[in-house]
Amino acid sequence: MVQHFMFGPGWKQGCPSCSFMADHTDGMNIHLAHRDVTFVAISRATLAEIERFRHAHGLAVQVGVLAWQRLQPRLPR
């Protein structure tokens, strides 16, 4: 299961709603594991920014860096 955690490069904090969700995901991980499901959040922030945020908030949720440019459709400008 993948969540887009809205936390951009240079931001001091993540989106308030995303942060709320992240604060409450640790309790569901055992239930997901019993169903062979893994939860991960992705963000545009750098890995160093994400790790700093995770440790400051005591989050165990796995967060990865989203290569956003690769996932966006190519739209004419």
> Residues 27-41: pLDDT tens digits?
888 898 899 988 878
Task: Please give the average per-residue pLDDT across 17-36, as a whole number.
Answer: 85
Burial bucket for residue 15 (CB in 10 Å: 0-12, 13-18, 19+):
middle
Query: So what's the pLDDT on residue 35?
Result: 93
Q: Are 66 and 46 in contact (CB under 8 A)?
A: no
List Cα–Cα distances, 49 to 13, 23, 27, 53, 58, in angstroms.
9, 17, 24, 6, 14
Residue owning tokens 């991980």 = 29
d(CA 29, CA 16): 21
